[in-house]
Each structure stands twice: as structure tokens, then as C-alpha cells.
Amino acid sequence: MAQGGVALNLSSNAVTVLERRYLKKDDKGRVVETSDELFWRVAEHAAQVDARYDPAADVAATADKFYRTMAKLEFLPNSPTLMNAGRSLGQLSACFVLPIEDSMESIFETIKNTALIHQSGGGTGFSFSRLRPKGDIVKSTGGVASGPISFMEVFDAATEAIKQGGARRGANMAILRVDHPDIMDFITAKADEQRLNNFNLSVGLTREFMEALRRSATHPLVNPRSKEVVRRLRAREVFHKISEMAWKNGDPGVVFLDKLNEGNPTPQVGEIESTNPCGEQPLLPFESCNLGSINLSKMVTDGKIDYRHLGQTVHCAIHFLDNVVDCNNYPLPQIREMTLANRKIGLGVMGFAHMLIRLGIPYNSEEALDTAEEIMAFIQEQARLTSATLAEQRGAFPNYEGSIYDVPGGRKMRNATVTTVAPTGTISIIAATSSGIEPIFALVYRRHVLDDDRLLEVNPVFAEVARAEGFYSKGLMNKVAETGSVQELDDVPPEIRRLFVTAHDIAPEWHIRIQGVFQKYTDNAVSKTINFPHQATREDVERAYLLAYDSGCKGVTVYRDGSRALQVLTKGLGDGESKSVVRRPRPRPTVTHGVTEKITVGCGQSIYVTINEDQRGLFEVFATMGKSGGCMASQSEAIGRLISLALRSGLEAEAIIRQLQGIRCPAPAWQEGNIILSCADAIGKAMQRHITDNDSHPFTSTGADITPMNLLGMCPECPDCGTMVEFVEGCLRCPSCGYSQCG
């Protein structure tokens, strides 16, 4: 039994993370603190603030309350608070935004300030939009500007050198407005995966740009120095490039700048231009924020949400986070001044996916959306009421006058913001629950952490349910380990498969709808990765961005599985290195949906190409022609089977199309002004049409020339009897049954 009467129940992975990153060490690097002592250290440091406002406050009782909610893993603050509270460094914030003005002095002053923040365990966000573009004039020297990208490289190098003392890697967010003249260079800045590895990139999309995109119009690029329009780009071309790069490796994401500022509670103080590295915390220049998350999986009692317990936890967490604002040791005086003036805090959640499972609700369901809305609305309401009560006891935040807030009864607020949904990467490991509002990534995976360490993660809730339902076995776990999913395992009951959906079992639309619902009741923003299967297309990414915008999200990040050489989470038991992978085709659902297209080919008959989809995209292709049992019929059936096998095994549709298009037979044909070189070419073009959904141009010409030489050689079979036809007198003719292409 730990001190204070709370039995710590930590997983082996939690112990590993705590020992590596959070617990005190002596001069020789040996751990000299227990996990229980860590929670007491943090609780007592935060609780002592009460005495500043009320000399008669029972600080010991507050410390006990804070300790219990952390030791029970019901609430945990952000990592810098766990690391540094009650220690000499004393820097407790995770999120910072620093300004960058268009001068060499400002740029390198910001680099210095960034180093100080990273050294203390914080992450930084910047807008590079004020910097003049590459090639612009520099009057003081008579030279030309090198542009924002070159200075991002300098920031990246400085971050690499710091490494935040080995406890928490440096992390940066770079945002560039979509109307900056260097925007296309910014979008492609991370095409090389070895470049800017300490940066997340996001394009700042404006309402004007989104309207131009809807109208297929152009939008202006404006020099931030002169405010002059230097040229115009087609909004759709810019949008395509953003989506293409995100499809390739996840960068850049997008933030919707106008939506960020619609949620800016203090517009009289300034405009929001950037966020923290994961995008969930929009901040003014020199502002910081303290985050913490409630473990929703601990808020379920007897199969129902325990709102009384949840409300108590919210009250405790808001009290804790407000105290952190006061006991924090700020790395810069400007940050201290701005943070104390707005007192922003961000209470979020983790364990949402585990909570749904305990409630018997699939993640990809309307019931999950309703639950998300209900629970986040409750958390925000209770958080604001607690902040209002603290304002009555301690005073409103200094910049309250002129702020935008809706609190019942017209009460003032202690904090400019109270809710944020953060990713909770490591604190969710400590709490042994699912991360943030993400679905379960995989039921078994390896997590990459500091210095390329790899931690094996096996979902504890699945193991618990498997044992309770009587289907747990070592053999089953080995099967699950192969893909991380149970959707293809017949020995797992259907109701369990429906409940234990993983990130890649869920269509991207559900990811976005969940994010949109949480955003509706979140003051700041929501960190969420929209997962795509490897075979997803660029068009899928574009649709996701548009849906996110229409759903009220403030930003969105997508990631297509396997699009980077190294990714933080790896499904199954692989170690993330290049190894041969055994692909297994996903099973066919009972019902699929698709289209059938009739295409006339060169031998005078038609091929019927049927393309079906499941929730992940293209799933199978059937190609039918001629009589059953004929040579051409068997070949077209074989092509369809092999395409279907490849699609179901995760190969990209585009790669298959590239192999099919351009294959020639002796008798090409024309259809609607486009050449069809062969049956295989017809199938490839039908697949391309299905993907692009371009009805006005059903086929893409390969540019091949038709000459008499193209028509020489072996001829195809007769569509009526299957005998090989002859090319005679400019026409295909069957010597057996008399069929003639020319009638």
C-alpha cells in the first residue's frame, strides 16, 4: 500500500516510462524516487498555492486530493509538470508560442528563446508568415532574402542540438499562411524525410482561400513586407499539393486560421497565428498553457458513465491546473506576463476508446458520437463553473475585460480557456489507457520512444475481455499480433470484433466526425490523427480536409499507414525495420457496393468491368467477356482475380493501374475519342475512372499511335465460338463460324 492509502497499479510499460523520463535520478543516473513519491512531489508543489489566496487553507487536504486523483490514474497533468514540479527547474508548461518578426534580430532572439524553452521541457510553435519571401529585397544590405524555409532549417538545427536534456525531445510547429509567396516551397519542405525532423508543418488556411477553392478560383499571394499581391495561384492546385504531400508522409497538416480566431477568447489582446507542436493549443505570441487529461476509462461504473465521479474529477483537475499557473517557473519574463494575464489552462481526456468498450459502444457508431458530445459538453460545463467559482475566490484573469465568454449567470472566469483535447502520448501509457480521443491503434503494437527504444504494447482491455468471455489463448494472441486487429479472426466472436475496432478498421469519416463533436465543446482545439490505410488515395485526403472544415474542426492531421520509413506506432510484432512482410488479403464482406462499366474492345466485343468497394476503398474487380470457358473469358477472369487479391492485400490501386494501362493487343479500339489498347488497358482505365470519378473524361489516353504495324501479329479469339480470328482485308474474321468485326 502506497503512502496515503492508495495502491499504485502500474503496468510494466508505465514503470519503464516513469523510470526513464519522470523519476528523480542522482548524479550517476540512478533512479532515487518511487512512483508514489513522484505523485506526492507534484501534488504538494501544486497544493501550496492555496495558501497564497487563503492563509487558512488546508494545504495538506488539497495535496491529498491532488495525490489521490493522480495515484488512481484518474487525472494526470502534462509531462513537464510531472517531471519538474517540486524540483529545481520548476518549468511546468508543455505549450508555448513565440513570435517571429521580419528582422534578423527577432529571428535569432526567438531561436535563443526556443532553446531555453526546449531545455526546460516545453514545445514551441511559430508562425513564419511575417517573414519576407525568398528573393525579396533586403534594403539594409542590398541583397535578397533567403525566405522562411531557410530559417526553419536554423531552428531545426538548434532543436537537434538541445534534445531537451534527453528527457523530452524538442518539438516545433511551423505555420505558414496559404497566401504567403513561399507557400509551395513550404508545402513540399518535408518531401525529404531527413529534413526538418524536429518540426510539424501546418498550412494556415483562410476563409478566403476555402471560398476560392469551392469556386475553383485563384487566390492571391501577398508579400508580408510590402503587402502587395505578387502573383495568384489556383486554389485547387495548392490544395492538391497539400493533399499530395500529406498523403506521401503526413506533412503538412492544415489549420483553419479563421476558426482558431473565432475561438480566441481575448481578441482585444491579439490575433492567434500559431499553435503548439501537436496543434491542440492555439496561443498568442509569448503565451503558454498548462494541460492535463482525465482518464475516461476510470469514469465507468457498472457499465454506465459515473457523472458524479466525473464531475468531482473535473473540479479537482481545474483547481490543480489553475494552481500550476501560479507555481510555474516561466522560462522568459514575457511568457510569465502573458500567461498570468490570460491564465489559460486546458483540461482534456484520454481513454475515450477504452470507455466506449466498457460501455459496449463501437467507436465507429452514431452512439459513440452521441456519447462524445454528451461527455465533452459535461466536462466543459463543469470546467467553466469551477473556473467561475475560482474567479469569485481569487479574481478573474486580468485580461477578462473585453474577452468573449458565455458563462451561466454572467459570472467572470478565472481562466481564459479551460478545455483542450491533447494527444496524451506518454501519460496514457502511465495510465494504461487509450491515447486522447483516438481509437485503439492496434491490439498489439510496438511504440518507439527515446533513443529508438521500442515498447511492446498489448491492449489490456482486450486481454481482460478475452479472458472473461473464454476465448483467450496464446495462439489467438499470436494471431492478433500479426496485424494488430481481430477483424479477420473467425475465432473471435462477432460482437467482440465489432467492439474492438482499431484505427485502421475505422473509415476516416468516423475519425473526423468524432473530432468535430469534441471540438464543439472544447475551448482550444483537439489533437487527432485521421488514420488512412496504405491504399488510400490523394482524393481521400482531400475529402477528409473538406469534411474537417465543414465539421467545425480547427485543424486536421492525416497519416497514411506505412507512408514513412519510421513511424511512432507500428502494428503487430514487427520492430519497424525493413523486413519481408507476409500480406494476407482481408476477407470479403457479405455486401459490397460498386459500378459496372461496359467497354468496347478491339475484337468487336464488350468487356464488362465491375469495381466494388468496402469501407477502406477499392476492394475487388471483376472483368467479364466472351463465353464462359473461352480463352479470353478465362484470361479476363484471371486478371480480375489477381487485381482483387492485390487490392485486398493492401497494394495501392494506382500501382496496379500503372501496370495495366498501356498493354497492347493486335486490335486496339476507339471509344468516345480515346484509345483502348487491350482488355487489360480497358480494365486499368476503368479503375482510373472510378478513382478520379471524372465523367467528362472517362478514359485517359496513353498517347499511343495507331499504325498498321499495331494491327499485325497474333489476333484475339472469336467472341462467338472462341476460335482464334484472322485479320483479313482490314477486318477481323473468324474462319470457324464466320464472325466478322465488320458485319
Going along the chain from its start, the domains and CATH numbers come out as 12-89+289-430 (3.20.70.20), 95-275 (3.20.70.20), 593-712 (no CATH)
Q: How far is CA 169 from the centre of its chain?
A: 19
Q: What is the pLDDT of residue 593?
A: 78
State the distance between the two ends of the chain, measured CA to CA, in whole angstroms. 93
Residue 718 reports pLDDT greater than 70: no
Q: What residues contact 672, with CB distance under 8 A and at least 6 apart?
A: 698, 699
Residue of 82, 155, 91 whose CA lies nearest to 119: 91
Q: What is the pLDDT of residue 406?
A: 63
Beta-carbon-side half-sphere exposure of residue 561 (alpha carbons within 13 Å): 24
pLDDT: is 74 or 471 the higher one? 74
* Active-site residue, selected from the candidate residues 78, 172, 200, 276: 276
Tell me, yes or no, if 289 is annotated catalytic: no
Residue 381 reports pLDDT greater than 80: yes
Residue 715 reports pLDDT greater than 50: no
Residue 706 reports pLDDT greater than 70: no
Residue 727 reports pLDDT greater than 70: no
pTM of the model: 0.76
Tens digit of pLDDT for each residue in 299-311? 999 999 999 999 9
Band of pLDDT at residue 574, cut at 50, 70 and 90: very low
Mean pLDDT for 220-239 is 97
Residue 696 reports pLDDT greater than 70: no
Mean pLDDT for 519-548 is 95
Kind plus residue range of the DSSP H or E element containing 191? none
Tell me, yes or no, if 280 is annotated catalytic: yes
* Active-site residue, selected from the candidate residues 280, 457, 542, 717: 280
Tens digit of pLDDT for each residue in 255-287? 999 999 999 999 999 999 999 999 999 999 999
Grid coordinates given for 608: 464488362
Tell me, yes or no, if 95 is annotated catalytic: no
Q: What is the pLDDT of residue 70?
A: 98
> For the packed helices 460-469 and 352-359, what is the interaxial angle rounded to 10 degrees?
10
Q: What is the pLDDT of residue 659?
A: 84
* Active-site residue, selected from the candidate residues 95, 278, 553, 603: 278
d(C-alpha 6, C-alpha 126), whole Å = 42
Report long-range pairs for 100-109 (Cβ below 8 Å, ≥24 apart).
100/126, 100/127, 100/128, 100/130, 100/131, 100/151, 101/130, 102/130, 102/131, 102/132, 102/224, 102/225, 107/131, 107/151, 107/154
Grid coordinates given for 676: 483502348
Band of pLDDT at residue 241, cut at 50, 70 and 90: very high
Residue 470 reports pLDDT greater than 80: yes
Task: State whether residue 112 is helix, strand or coil.
Answer: helix
Q: What is the pLDDT of residue 581?
A: 42
Residue 565 reports pLDDT greater than 70: no
